[in-house]
Amino acid sequence: MSVSPAIVWFRDDFRLADNAALTAAQQSGAPMLCLYIRQPVPQEFSAADWWREKSLSVFMDELARQGGRLHVFEGDAEHLLPEIVRRSGATSVFWNRRYDPAGRATDTALKARLRQDGTAVSSFAGNVLHEPWTIRTQARQAFQVCGAYWRAACRVEPLPPLPAVQDVAFATVEAESWPGWSGVVAPQLGADGPPWCAMLDSQHQKGEAAAHAALATFLQQALPEYVQERDYPAHDGTSALSCFLRTGQITPRQIWQAVTDADSSQASVKFLAELGWREFAWSLLWDHPDLATRCLRPEFEHMAWRDDPAGLEAWKLGRTGYPLVDAGMRQLWQTGIMHNRVRMVVGSFLVKHLLIDWREGERWFAHTLTDYDPASNAMNWQWVAGCGVESAPFFRIMNPRLQQEKFDAQGDYVRHWVPELARVSQAVMADILKDGCGGPGGYPPALVPHAMARARALAALEQARQAG
Ligand code: FAD
């Protein structure tokens, strides 16, 4: 090869538009070598692993349509990337930054190593409106409360999104024989993958174009009623953008611009504030790399969590006898997603009704959510458990029956996801809710009565307070 290529190392940024690393690589004038390095997919892979692989393969097709190729390797990036640089003769590498602890560590080490070898490394802001360390109090401290964080963030205009790259000159390399070269799809996720892959497949649109179509539909159909509708799990009241945000088919900057261009109503303000929670989560993870494993309120480390494998299993399977909880857990298993309101209800049930450590729930969601991200998941679990910086207090215990009566009054969501209850009348549903008596088709009685569970949780909290 006569001209040194510029390597663009894709991670969670499978898109052509608003991709700063890609744009800068093109502007460098060098032919582009597009690269993805897959972490070996574990045998027990997660829904998020599945989603990433699907997103990767759609992006590969997109690059092929542009006349290019995404070269996929598998293994340890710290070893593979310097080797790929050497073999390709590249003198520059471009990437968009990651903010999770493992990604940060890898990128820092690689940047130092490559630069030492004389390779130019350029990195750019990742898939956030504001990088996690940039929004600080006047005293340059981290915000403890999302509302204050978001008010400060809104005073800083985000960078406008970049247009899609066009007419890219791609480098041609014979990479198949290089160490770590990999096939298109991780073998576990091929045709012989577990049956749940097919279930997820039917539930997810994929790719950059699908992400923008989802945004356009949301702006047109659901945004005006977002404030009123966002809490009803049976309604299409939210954007369904979280998976696309996770793997970068769409960026918060693009969403910010589209929403602020569309209108400035209360609904837009509320919707953008939800993106604010995502931003806040990344800033929390930045400051607390152990967000998924350590309670931000230390007194919660003294909670006497129950060891209850049977209860945990019933929760995972959606067999707690609380219809809204069970509907949510079954939706999660079958689709990889769950409505936000229901995430709060099932989380509260696990932590407060069953008194099982929130970290068990965090891990199950990490395994089953297609939109799983280490920042939002950990922050929200701490929020649900009352041990986060800004949680609703632990003693506020959600009553799943009241939550169902309020947010799924006709039982449409429950009937859809819990087929045993699909045909029960409203009167029978009311009995199941009131008495926890179980229902037809083997629908189980309530695992634990609400009043008893509430009293037990409050007693455990009191004990933890005294111990702390
Ligand atoms: P919309 O209502 O349309 O919101 C738009 C975007 O704002 C979302 O796509 C998301 O990026 C962001 N957002 C909304 N609510 C939140 C929130 N509470 N925290 C952070 N960002 C938010 N979201 C994830 O993306 N990944 C997770 O792993 C995750 N785990 C969660 C675990 C629990 C226990 C709870 C209670 C919430 C969790 N969430 C997580 C947040 C939220 O449930 C999802 O972002 C939301 O349901 C996605 O649907 P949507 O795109 O239609 O949301």
Q: Which secondary-structure segment (H or E) carries 361?
A: helix 358-368
Topology of domain 298-465, CATH:
DNA Cyclobutane Dipyrimidine Photolyase, subunit A; domain 3 (1.10.579)
- From residue 200, alpha-carbon distances to 46, 95, 234, 336 in Å are 12, 30, 19, 6
> Are the beta carbons of 270 and 368 closer than 8 angstroms?
no
For residue 406, pLDDT over 80 is answered with yes
For residue 282, pLDDT over 90 is answered with yes
Q: How many A from CA of 376 to the centre of ligand 1? A: 7
pLDDT band, residue 465 (cuts 50/70/90): confident
**Could you report the per-residue pLDDT of 217-247, keeping only the tens digit for each?**
999 999 999 999 999 999 999 999 999 999 9
pLDDT of residue 190: 67
Q: Which CATH number fits domain 1-126: 3.40.50.1220, 3.40.50.620, 3.30.200.20, 3.30.160.100?
A: 3.40.50.620
The side-by-side arrangement of strands in the sheet containing 32-38 is 70-74, 32-38, 6-10, 92-96, 120-124
Instruction: Give me the mean pLDDT over the 301-322 stretch.
Output: 97
Ligand 1 pocket check for 333: Cβ under 6 Å:
no
* Active site annotation includes 315: no
In CATH, what is the architecture of 128-161+207-287?
A: Alpha Horseshoe (1.25)
**Could you report the per-residue pLDDT of 97-125, keeping only the tens digit for each?**
999 999 999 999 999 999 999 999 999 99
A 10 A CB-CB count for 459 gives 12
Residue 378's Cβ-side half-sphere holds a number of Cα atoms within 13 Å equal to: 22
Instruction: Give me the mean pLDDT over the 450-460 stretch.
Output: 95
Residue 310's Cβ-side half-sphere holds a number of Cα atoms within 13 Å equal to: 2
Amino acid sitting at position 440: P
Single pTM value for the model: 0.97
Q: How many A from CA of 360 to the centre of ligand 1? A: 19
* Active site annotation includes 274: yes
Instruction: Give me the mean pLDDT over the 250-268 stretch.
Output: 93
- From residue 238, alpha-carbon distances to 31, 85, 214, 270 in Å are 41, 43, 10, 11
For residue 310, pLDDT over 80 is answered with yes
Ligand 1 pocket check for 373: Cβ under 6 Å:
yes
For residue 183, pLDDT over 80 is answered with no
pLDDT of residue 187: 65
**Mutation test residue for ligand 1: of 150, 219, 242, the one with most atoms within 8 Å of CB:** 242
For residue 1, pLDDT over 60 is answered with no
Q: How far apart are CA 141 and CA 420, in angstroms?
A: 52
Instruction: Report domain extents, the chain.
Output: 1-126, 128-161+207-287, 298-465
pLDDT band, residue 160 (cuts 50/70/90): very high
Instruction: Give me the mean pLDDT over the 150-172 stretch.
Output: 96
Q: Do 128-161+207-287 and 1-126 fall under one CATH topology?
A: no
pLDDT band, residue 363 (cuts 50/70/90): very high
Q: How many A from CA of 391 to the centre of ligand 1? A: 16
